[in-house]
């Protein structure tokens, strides 16, 4: 058990919809990272928050947004969903940058 | 785009044999990490090697880093069926500092994952 909790585990929705993925980091970890994993793109870094502030952006679409709350949990919002957004979305946390990251088990998003 | 590229893409060995996976990357790094992923699960951190280290051990794992060749290898000795998984290298880049007027701004640190090696250990 990594200590990182992601909900929901599975999400099935339709094109054009909006969903929110939630992540609770390990106790004491200030950094939260979001990744997208798909068969064709592999594991892609989306965004990094540290103690409530955005620290880095990767290949995150404008339709996607995230935030980290004062209690350090994070949410990833995906809107105007397209078929190509179907993927596994992982959250990871770490004590700080350049430290090992601890991954949740992911949210599997299926767009019908 | 991927920073690290693992080689081979897939590897099948007999239990008890050693498994070696290689990773090549393109830019300067601060550290390189190896992760393991069982099917459908999250990644598990295995080992981190810093750019000033050449070799590191953890149990049955041995990682080497050659910054001149921009490559790393992961050796799993005496493999077990439970080692069956995908293995990813991930590179952490240099933190750049820029002077803007009187403030020093750190650029962001990103961990970039390779495409992975699928390891099958046959019992």
Nearest to B48 by CA among B92, B87, B80: B92
Question: What is the nearest CA distance from A88 to chain B, expressed in angstroms?
Answer: 9
What six digits make up the tokens of B59? Answer: 């149990």
Q: What is the pLDDT of residue B2?
A: 47
- Would the pLDDT of B98 be above 60? no
List, edge to edge, every strand of the sheet that includes A5-7: A5-7, A19-24, A74-78, A64-68
Nearest to B31 by CA among A26, A93, A100, A90: A100
- Would the pLDDT of B107 be above 50? no
pLDDT category at B94 given cuts 50, 70, 90 is: very low
Percentage of chain B modeled with pLDDT above 70: 83
A88 neighbourhood in chain B, CB within 8 Å: 40
Q: Which of A4, A57, A98 sits opposite B31 (nearest CB)?
A: A98
Tell whether A90 lies on the interface with B, counting CB pairs under 8 A: yes
Peptide bond into B8 cis (omega under 30): yes
- Residues of chain A scoring pLDDT < 50: none
Q: Which of B109, B114, B115 sits opposite A98 (nearest CB)?
A: B109
- Would the pLDDT of B4 be above 80? no
pLDDT digits (tens, 9 = 90+) for B62-75: 999 999 999 999 99
Average pLDDT over residues B41-57: 95
Q: Which of A7-21, A88-102, B18-32, B86-100 has the highest mean pLDDT?
A: A7-21
The reply to whether residue A98 touches residue B113, judged by beta carbons under 8 angstroms, is no
Tell whether B69 lies on the interface with A, counting CB pairs under 8 A: no
Is the dihedral angle over the CA atoms B18, B14, B47, B8 positive or is it negative?
Answer: positive
Q: What is the pLDDT of residue A99?
A: 86
Q: What is the pLDDT of residue A83?
A: 96
Q: What is the pLDDT of residue B93?
A: 61
- Would the pLDDT of B92 be above 60? yes
Tell whether A43 lies on the interface with B, counting CB pairs under 8 A: yes
Q: What is the pLDDT of residue B109?
A: 66
């Amino acid at each position: 058990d990594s200590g990182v909790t992601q909900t929901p585990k599975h999400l099935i929705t339709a094109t054009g919809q909006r969903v929110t993925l939630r992540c609770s980091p390990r106790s004491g970890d200030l950094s939260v990272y979001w990744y997208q994993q798909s068969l064709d793109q592999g594991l892609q870094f989306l965004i990094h928050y540290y103690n409530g502030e955005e620290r880095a952006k990767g290949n995150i679409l404008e339709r996607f947004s995230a935030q980290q709350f004062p209690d350090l949990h994070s949410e990833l919002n995906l809107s105007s969903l397209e078929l190509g957004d179907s993927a596994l979305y992982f959250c990871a946390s770490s004590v700080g940058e350049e430290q090992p990251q601890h991954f949740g088990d992911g949210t599997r998003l299926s767009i019908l | 785009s991927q920073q690290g590229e693992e080689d081979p893409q897939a590897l099948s060995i007999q239990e008890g044999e050693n498994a070696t996976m290689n990773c090549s990357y393109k830019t300067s790094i601060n550290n390189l990490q190896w992760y393991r992923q069982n099917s459908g699960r999250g990644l598990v951190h295995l080992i981190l090697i810093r750019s000033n280290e050449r070799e590191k051990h953890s149990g049955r794992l041995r990682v080497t880093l050659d910054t001149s060749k921009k490559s790393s290898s992961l050796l799993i000795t005496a493999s077990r069926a439970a080692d069956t998984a995908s293995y990813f290298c991930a590179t952490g880049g240099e933190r750049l500092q820029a002077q803007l007027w009187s403030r020093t701004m750190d650029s962001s640190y990103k961990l970039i994952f390779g495409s992975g090696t699928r390891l099958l250990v046959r019992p």
